Structure 1
Amino acid sequence: MRKHLAVALTAGMLAGIPALTGSAGADVAPDFDPAPIRWEECRDERLRHAGAECGFLRVPLDYTEPNGRMISLAVSRIEHTSPERDYQGVMVVNPGGPGGSGRKLSLLGDSVPDGAGADYDWIGFDPRGVGASEPALSCDADHFSPPRSAYVPFREGVERIRLRRAADYAAACERAAPELLEHLRTTDTVQDLESLREALGRERINYYGFSYGTYIGQVYATKHPRRLRRLVMDGVVDPGEVWYRSNLKQDLAFDRVFGVYTDWIAEHDSVYHLGDTGDEVRRRYYERLAELGRHPAGGVLGPAEWTDVFLPAGYGRHGWENIAEAFSALVHRGDPEPALKLYEAANGPGDNGYAMYLATECTDAEWPRLWSTWRADHWRAFAKAPFETWGNAWYNAPCRTWPVPAGERVRVDGDAVDSALLVNQEFDAATPYSGALEARERFPESALVGVSSGVTHSGSLGGNACVDDRIAAYLAEGTLPERKAGRRADVTCEPLPAPRPESGTARRETRSQRQPDVLRAALRNARR
């Protein structure tokens, strides 16, 4: 997760709401008046089939120059289907990233239990620089093409190669869109969200954020608390650790979930034949990692690609069988094709998501400039968590030489927010549970639904009735679970059962038992 910085808007100031702060730290006069969105039939087939409307919101690239260069944000809308007397306004949705496209999330209304989504107009959007918004940032579309050098810099020269690669990518982004890079902080997106509210003609909005989208919600709540009606945040970013420290904490969390996953493979040794203990499965994983470093499978699947094949397992149980099957195929048949297909699916074409991830996170808050700091911190983390630590380090390494100065991290304050519902699974690797507890402290009128021992990142609307029924009650009536004393969840739910590959249960799950495809795809793409 990574973010960016921005400015404030008209109606917020007129209503006595504090203006945002610009990149230079000065208050910005609220003198931009967004035009209404012109809604048309969507070009995307799925949106069109669902009856969605699409359009573009025109906003300034730089809110300090409202008459300067304009950019376009791609927006979609599915209007409420309930009677007018039950209408509860617009629900804006974001899937996170940074860099995740959210346009298709206007489809989520039907996934809320008990028809509670029918009372809202569901609004999906691609943040500035993302997806169908114009312009969209791309720096080097072939950056993740295999084979790549190993992640862990054991061998001489790996660190030098990786540092040069990271610096080259940062330089490519500067060449690609120098003016755009200056205005891709989280606060810029928050300012766009306020422009969207005005363009929709609403005094207040409802907001549902997943993963990094929860940080957008937190910053919007800080800057425009009286413009929020209901706020749902699932997979909650720790507002006090944006972003360098949060990534180090992720390394430990991903290693724990990797342990849970390999234990699960061991439980099904009769299917995968990779070891009947988690220790044995992990030994086989790291043996294969070392072998691929010497001899990439098919000349393509090296240790970096092998790590990336397994990384989606850290985000939740969906797809665990496919990864284990690819693991077994390589070990027992020497067949790299299943793993390569998973690698291609995980990384996808182009680099828009990655470019926007960096453009936001590198400039939301300061990153260490000295490589000696990075090296010491990551070797320390690697000693406890070898699975993903160095992969994560190199993913973020362009921030060390990013061409745009970082802004000041927003001090998130939810004191003035009327209500918020937080959701987090206990072993969520991407947004560790401690972040939800911290956000709960900063939003005194919030309630936290925790999922004990859950490993899924942003898993709401995924068929867990204990979680989803609380969301439905909150959206329908504004009902929050009773807040408990102390730093803890207010409701604790059990996780959904793990897949059982020998019975095929996971392959036959019904739509009501899993996350909507459109949400799962949006979250997956946001992670690229």
Structure 2
Amino acid sequence: MTLRSRALATGAAVATLLASGALLAPSATAAPAAGTAPASSRTSAATSARSYTPPAPVWGSCSSSSLKDAKAECAKVTVPLDYDHPDGTKIKIAISRVAHTTKQDQGVMLVNPGGPGGSGLGLATLGQYVPDGAGDSYDWIGFDPRGVGDSEPAVSCDPTFAGYDRPRYVPASPALSEAWFAKTNAYTDACAKKNGPILDHLTTVDSAKDMESIRKALGEKKINYYGFSYGTYLGQVYGTLYPKRLRRVVFDGTVDPRKIWYDANLDQDEAFDVNIDIWFGWVADHDSVYHLGTTQKAVRSLFYRTEEKLYADPVKGKGGQLGGSEWIDAFLYAGYYQSSWTGLAETFSRFVRDDDVKALEAAYLDSSGYDADDPKADNGYAVYLGVQCTDTRDWPQKWSTWEKDSWRIFRKAPYETWANTWYNEPCRHWPAQQQKELKIDGRKVKSLLMVNETLDAATPYAGSLEVRKRFPKARLIAEPGGTTHAGSLYGNACVDDRIAAYLATGELPKRKSGKKADVTCDPLPRPEPAARSAAAKKQAERSSTKELSTLRRAALPR
């Protein structure tokens, strides 16, 4: 799903209503189904993790300028590749720390940005954004999960995978399906060749055990935890395995544990279509600025006509050809963040009205994360697949199942459906063992504050309600009608002040009975092209930093 950031974590979406719905034959060249591991007890896995104690980290300087500016320290924690064999091969988890600056010491706060596949080192700086200085009494610990970024080894398969001029997303002919099968099979073949046994040890359970090793390496009895997007699922897993080790916990954009991971992607397909239509309507409301149509229907029609034009006649960017698939990808953030609406509307207008290819290419590169000069540009995507493809045995192995589901959803939700399908299709033939999914049980977690906008497309609101039920001590802040994904600490005082109060004192809102939120807050107002609010300006300034841009990409689905 990365919780699909596309390169990520990194990935984009669909085209016009071309298909009648007839099913295509599965590829004759599809790789065989991935193997499955023997059933094993995850409680015994937790026991094996407890048997390993890593050396204390040796802190030194960080390579990131923003971490240096924040006076952060960096280190690496040595952990087992396989916790069932703690004396065997070791790998290293990169961590960062911005120490508390107050007399009060509330312990460590681990942060995960999502993905899976997102780098979290930069999030050691997150404490400064908590209102009223409530983050200053924590040691903020960022970390790159196993396989990611500065951790060793870092997983990569083919850094050009998310490059330019890709096949049409909607497989309106068998030839298009075969083109995608060739592309995804080549990618998984490269993953098998370039990476060693770490591919069998990238599950969320593995990363939760790494968090436990970080706790022990830091000499802490308990940890605090702040998880965005996929990071909320990592927190659920950690809370299931080590509930007594959690103190204060914040989840923003909560993953539904009932839908790991195939069904989660199907939910996203429909949710992103809702949000892109909301954006089309907003663009129409501001036709005097963008001149793209006075109705939602007119803007939508122009958007998909432009996609078709680019499939027929791609334009040449600085790095390569930009076709219809790159067009769709360029606008993915519109389904994630209201703060992107004005800039993407300007890109849309400038390309259609002024043939501004440079603006389109910049939006595509920003969304996809593709970098021709980065030899590990696909690191986020490779880890995304490595985690999601092995977290569960519930990925369908028959292409006919994917095909039937995708065509069914595409008929009513054309925007992201087929792009999301191809982004995740490598899980049919991922070269590592699938594991038995962990059943999430939060009954022993004593404190949890959750945040979710009700039209969040990457982590639909139903997931927060489900986790609230499984974690009886949890409280949920809902933002009805909001379309932004994992947007806490971005200027909404109603939300952010409650997070600050919780981190300062541990006090939670009163829990309401029934399947509902405990607190509701209005989402941030929709942006205005001419005069953006102070909160929106602050959000834009923060999102311009490399680390928080990575956070955004890592939280996306695919």
Q: TM-score range by the shorter chain?
A: over 0.9
Listed as ranges, the matches of 1:14-93 within 5 Å are 20-22=43-45, 28=48, 30-83=50-103, 86-93=104-111
Counterpart CA distance in 2 for 1:143 and 1:58 is 31
C-alpha contact 2:48 2:86 (8 A) present in aligned 1: no
C-alpha contact 1:461 1:516 (8 A) present in aligned 2: no
Counterpart CA distance in 1 for 2:269 and 2:255 is 15
Counterpart CA distance in 2 for 1:21 and 1:276 is 60
- State the partner residue of 2:28: none
Listed as ranges, the matches of 1:363-374 within 5 Å are 363-366=390-393, 367-374=395-402
Matched, 1:296 2:296: no
C-alpha contact 2:491 2:536 (8 A) present in aligned 1: no
Corresponding residue SS for 1:398: helix
Corresponding residue SS for 1:157: helix
Counterpart CA distance in 2 for 1:324 and 1:2 is 24
Highest relative contact order (Cα 8 Å, sep 6+), 1 or 2?
A: 2
Counterpart CA distance in 1 for 2:366 and 2:42 is 42
C-alpha contact 2:491 2:535 (8 A) present in aligned 1: no
How far off is 1:403 after superposition? 1.3
- Look up the equivalent residue of 2:431 and give its one-letter code: P
Corresponding residue SS for 1:232: strand
2:236 to 218, 223, 230: 218
1:220-243 alpha-carbon deviations (Å, 9 max, x no partner): 000000000011000000011000
Listed as ranges, the matches of 1:188-337 within 5 Å are 188-298=206-316, 300-337=321-358
1:78-116 alpha-carbon deviations (Å, 9 max, x no partner): 111111xx2111000000000000001010111101111
Aligned-residue sequence identity (percent) comes to 50
Q: Which one is further off, 297-306 or 271-280?
A: 297-306
2:143 to 125, 134, 138: 125
TM superposition score normalised by structure 2: 0.88
- State the partner residue of 1:467: 495
C-alpha RMSD over aligned residues? 2.0
Listed as ranges, the matches of 1:145-160 within 5 Å are 145-160=163-178
- State the partner residue of 1:351: 378
C-alpha contact 2:331 2:367 (8 A) present in aligned 1: no
1:339 to 357, 360, 369: 360
- Look up the equivalent residue of 2:100 and give its one-letter code: H
Unaligned runs of 5+ in 1: 7-17
- State the partner residue of 1:483: 511
Listed as ranges, the matches of 1:366-515 within 5 Å are 366=393, 367-501=395-529, 503-505=530-532, 509-511=536-538
Counterpart CA distance in 1 for 2:142 and 2:414 is 37
1:39-58 alpha-carbon deviations (Å, 9 max, x no partner): 11222211111111110001
- Look up the equivalent residue of 1:277 and give its one-letter code: T
C-alpha contact 2:243 2:442 (8 A) present in aligned 1: yes
Counterpart CA distance in 2 for 1:493 and 1:132 is 37
Query: What is the total number of aligned residue pairs between the two structures?
Result: 510
How far off is 1:481 after superposition? 1.0
How far off is 1:330 after superposition? 2.1
Corresponding residue SS for 2:161: coil
Change in CA separation of 1:125 and 1:508 when aligned onto 2, cut-off 3 Å = closer
Counterpart CA distance in 2 for 1:27 and 1:220 is 13
- Look up the equivalent residue of 2:384 and give its one-letter code: Y
Change in CA separation of 1:510 and 1:285 when aligned onto 2, cut-off 3 Å = closer
- State the partner residue of 2:132: 114
- Look up the equivalent residue of 1:302 and give its one-letter code: G
Corresponding residue SS for 1:46: helix
- Look up the equivalent residue of 2:152 and give its one-letter code: E
Q: Which one is further off, 293-302 or 104-113?
A: 293-302
- State the partner residue of 1:15: none
Q: Which one is further off, 163-172 or 363-372?
A: 163-172
How far off is 1:19 after superposition? 6.7
2:388 to 331, 340, 361: 361
C-alpha contact 1:364 1:406 (8 A) present in aligned 2: yes
Counterpart CA distance in 2 for 1:75 and 1:483 is 35
